[in-house]
Every structure is written in structure tokens, then in C-alpha cells.
Amino acid sequence: MTSTDAPHAHGREATTPPVRPTKQRRAVAEALASFGDFRSAQEIHGSLTERGEKVGLATVYRTLQLLSDSGEVDMLRTEEGEAIYRRCSATHHHHLVCRQCGATVEVEGPAVERWTRAIAAEHGYADIAHTLELFGTCRSCAV
Amino acid sequence: MTSTDAPHAHGREATTPPVRPTKQRRAVAEALASFGDFRSAQEIHGSLTERGEKVGLATVYRTLQLLSDSGEVDMLRTEEGEAIYRRCSATHHHHLVCRQCGATVEVEGPAVERWTRAIAAEHGYADIAHTLELFGTCRSCAV
DNA sequence: GCTCAGTTGACAATCATTCTCAATCGATTG
DNA sequence: CAATCGATTGAGAATGATTGTCAACTGAGC
Ligand SMILES: [Zn+2]
Ligand SMILES: [Zn+2]
Ligand SMILES: [Zn+2]
Ligand SMILES: [Zn+2]
């Protein structure tokens, strides 16, 4: 979704805290891998709890933050503003999401990416990022 | 919400609450008209309070909800998930927003709209809606 | 003026998300 | 294996936006 993130990470690179692969982090990552659609932090935490994986809610949030920052998962917001996460492919893409069942399709639009850059240039905006999501009703959820 | 709805839509009944133009609603609308960029409900409420307009925070939220539902104002969410509002033109458009100063440009992309419909059809999704926002750094905010 | 549904506002209640910080973990060295 | 020490965790408190509650208020129509 958001592309072309700020490339200039202002100074202070000396502090690069090692990210340890802990049991909890693995649990969250595996949970994400087991879903095909976007889930909220609360849902993921609930799912883990059900399976007997005891992971604190705060840890789930922290891990999702990490994964999201590193680009391993995509994060977007529901109409209500709640953050939801999904394990996605590495290439830049957008989403077509069923608002009934959540079924998600990754879509690409080279033309849209081009359009984005053109618009930005035309108005003199630099360091552009964009969000683009499609919501609809999938075939199996149609009346 | 949808309760005891008459099966036969004889005229209009349950869903036509008269919207009275009150002092408070006018105040919120005027505040929105005076801004050129997106503002949060809290900011708008603060702005009104400063000017001496005594409007309750809940009323600001309710009015923004009304205006947003009626399409008179656009609502989108910040990266942090906070809802922000802006008085926009009536035609369908998207936004190019400076992440520093909030300067907003309305942009149109017929090609993008076409692409949206094509993608939706291709995957059998109906009743499509889409969100598309561009964030960047405007010329005057550039280093 | 009188009525009554729409409206308001002070305040409580939700709810997602973040913060705090003592206890625990785990890679590493000896 | 044991000691070390910063990274990590989790229970609970705290935050902050948004919504719900409900008695008091407003105003258009009679
Ligand atoms: Zn994705
Ligand atoms: Zn569906
Ligand atoms: Zn707009
Ligand atoms: Zn700017």
C-alpha cells in the first residue's frame, strides 16, 4: 500500500537494536501466515490465546509494529479506523477486500503508480507515498 | 439500526429525520469553510472554543458525522488512524496532502477510476468503493 | 403560549493502542 | 555449565479519540 517511504532516516544509525526471534514473535508470525485475510491485533491475540499460545496483548501489538515497519506485513485501516494486518507478498501492491467476508486479492496497477508520480511532480510534492484500497462484495458474498 | 422497517416503501417514513440548521451546526460548517486543509474534530472544536463559539465536543462530532454522511465534507484518516475532515468540492476526487503543513490539493484521475472498475469486474467483486490518498512534502515545506 | 420531536452538552463509558517497569529470557563469553 | 547484561515480556495502568446517556433546552407549528 504505502510506497516510496521516506528514504532519509535522519542520522543516529549507531543504535540498531538486534531483533531476537523469540517464541512470541514466531507465534505471531505463524498466526499471520495462517490467515488469508486482514486481521486486527485483538483478533490475532485472541486466536493465539485459543490455541494455547500465551502471548501478551502488548507483545502482539509490538510484534505487529515490528513486522509492519520491516515491510513483512501490510497494515491498513478499517472504515472505523482500526488497524488490521496481513502477511503479503514482497512486491508493491494494493488490495481488493470483500467487506463481507474479508476475502482479499492483491492487485497491481503500474498505471496507477505512474499516475501517482506524475501528479506529485505536477504539483511539486516530493517524497510521495500513497494509499489505495478497493472494497467490494465478492462473488460468494453477493446476494 | 435497521429495525421495524416497513416492507413496502410507501413514500418515506422511518428514514427522514428533519435536519435543523442550528447555531452549532452553522458554526461547525463555517469553521470547516474557513480551513483549506484537513482538521480533526478536536482541532475544530478547539478552534470554535477559541473564537468564543460555545459548541460541545459531542456536537462537533455529531455534526461532522452528518456532514460526512451527506457528502458535504470529506473524511479521511491520518497515519495514526485519527479522522480528519475537509470541506471539498462536490465532484469525485482524491487528495494530495503535505505531511508537514497539511496543504491539500484535490486531484482527479479518470484512468484510476476506470482501473478500479476493471479490477473489480475482473475479480467478480461488486459494489466497489475505493480510497486513494497521496501524501508528500509540498514545495514550501521541502528542505 | 403550548407542544413535542429534534438538539444540545456535561459527563460517563468504550475501546484500541501505548506506556510502565519489574521479572524473565537468551546470546555470548569464559 | 555459570555469570552477565541488554533485549523482551506481560500485567496492569494510562492515554486519547470517539460514542453513549439523559436531562435540559430549542424552535417550528398550532
Ligand atoms: Zn498486501
Ligand atoms: Zn466475500
Ligand atoms: Zn476532498
Ligand atoms: Zn507543506
Q: How far is the CA of A104 from the C1' of C26 (A)?
A: 38
| pLDDT tens per residue across span A110-119 | 999 999 999 9
Asked if residue A67 and residue A48 are part of one domain, the reply reads yes
Across the strands, what pairs with A75?
A85
Give the predicted TM-score (pTM) of the model. Answer: 0.86
Q: Is residue B39 part of a domain?
A: yes
Q: Is residue A10 part of a domain?
A: no
Per-residue pLDDT, B132: 94
- Looking at chain A, the whole-number percentage of residues with pLDDT higher than 90 is 77
How far apart CA A64 and CA A28 sit, in angstroms, is 8
Does residue A4 have a pLDDT over 50?
no
Instruction: From B68, B141, B133, select the one nearest B97 (Cα to Cα).
Output: B133
Q: B68: CA distance to ligand 3 center in Å?
A: 11
Q: Is residue B2 part of a domain?
A: no
Name the grid cell of A83: 488497524
Helices then strands (H, E): number in chain A?
4, 6
Q: Is B130 on the interface with A (CB under 8 A)?
A: yes
| pLDDT tens per residue across span B19-35 | 888 999 999 999 999 99
Per-residue pLDDT, B16: 59
Nearest residue, CB atoms, A96 vs list B82, B123, B137:
B123
**What is the spatial order of strands in the sheet that A73-77 belongs to?**
A39-40, A83-87, A73-77
- Looking at chain B, the whole-number percentage of residues with pLDDT higher than 90 is 76
Instruction: From A65, A131, A135, select the one nearest A103 (Cα to Cα).
Output: A135
* Residue A16 binned pLDDT confidence (cut-offs 50, 70, 90): low
Report the number of distinct structural domains present in chain B.
Answer: 2
Asked if residue B75 and residue B26 are part of one domain, the reply reads yes
Does residue B142 have a pLDDT over 90?
no
Buried b (16+ CB within 10 A) or exposed e, B18-51: eeeeeebbebbbebbeebeebbebebbbebbeee
How far apart CA A42 and CA A32 sit, in angstroms, is 12
Residues in chain B: 143
Instruction: From B54, B61, B50, select the one nearest B27 (Cα to Cα).
Output: B54
**Residue A118, CB, strand D, below 7 Å:** no
B75, B88 Cβ separation under 8 angstroms: no
**Contact list, B116 vs chain A (CB under 8 Å):** 134
How far apart CA B66 and CA B78 sit, in angstroms, is 20
Q: Is residue A5 part of a domain?
A: no
For the domain that residue A125 is a member of, what is the CATH number? 3.30.1490.190
Across the strands, what pairs with A98?
A136
Asked if residue A35 and residue A82 are part of one domain, the reply reads yes
How far apart CA B52 and CA B17 sit, in angstroms, is 30
Q: Is residue A1 part of a domain?
A: no
Does residue A11 have a pLDDT over 80?
no
Range of A44's domain?
Answer: 22-88
Segments of chain B assigned E as strands:
39-40, 73-77, 83-87, 94-98, 104-107, 126-137
Q: Is residue A12 part of a domain?
A: no
Asked if residue B58 and residue B40 are part of one domain, the reply reads yes
Q: Is residue B11 part of a domain?
A: no
Rounded mean pLDDT of chain B?
87
| Helix, strand, or coil (residue A95) | strand
For residue B138, the ligand closest to its alpha carbon is 4
Does residue A12 have a pLDDT over 50?
no
